[in-house]
Amino acid sequence: MKTIALNPVPFPKDLLYTEPRQNHVFINRFAETYFAHPRFFTEDAGKITVLITSLREIGMESGAALMEIAQAIQAKELYPCPVNTGLFLRLEWKDQPQSSSTVLTGTHSAPDGSVTVFSEILEPDDAFPKGLYLRNTDGRLWLRGYTCDSAYRFSGDDLFAFGTRRL
């Protein structure tokens, strides 16, 4: 488990694509689609502390679907992160452990070493990204969007970032 306190400093929407690149952060097309949603910039992340932990460590040994995770975290006093937390977390967390796999797409599972930022689902459409995840592959820091349907089950070993409290 790891906790990270964030104090996001909003920046203008027109800097959305330059700010990550200036910080040597790579993004995929799903992240770009996610950024384009109107709620991405209207939701205030505020000061937030996130807990990075596996599903197993919070009692979901056999993993869970997103809706099951949403129900289970309430009892653990964990919360969905604001939808733009992934961006601020990626810009802040530069020392994420490196993944042992360099495969970036097509695995139909959360990539090795990735951290999925748990937030509300913006659109029910399965083709629209459900959220963002962070990854360090070959020394490159990634912020990637991902898609899945409501039946998809994350593994108990998959890492997530949850909100613990707003400061």
Q: Residue 5 above 90 pLDDT?
A: no
Displacement of CA 75 from its chain's centroid (Å):
21
Q: List pLDDT tens digits, range 112-126.
A: 889 999 999 999 999
Flag whether pLDDT at 166 surpasses 60: no
User: Is the pTM here over 0.75, yes or no?
Assistant: yes
> What per-residue confidence (pLDDT) applies to 167?
46
Dump pLDDT digits (tens) for 9-18: 665 555 555 6
Where in the chain are the domains?
2-166
| Mean pLDDT score across all residues of the chain | 87
Count CB neighbours of 163 within 10 A.
22
Helix, strand, or coil here: 66? helix
Burial class (CB in 10 A: 0-12, 13-18, 19+), 19: middle
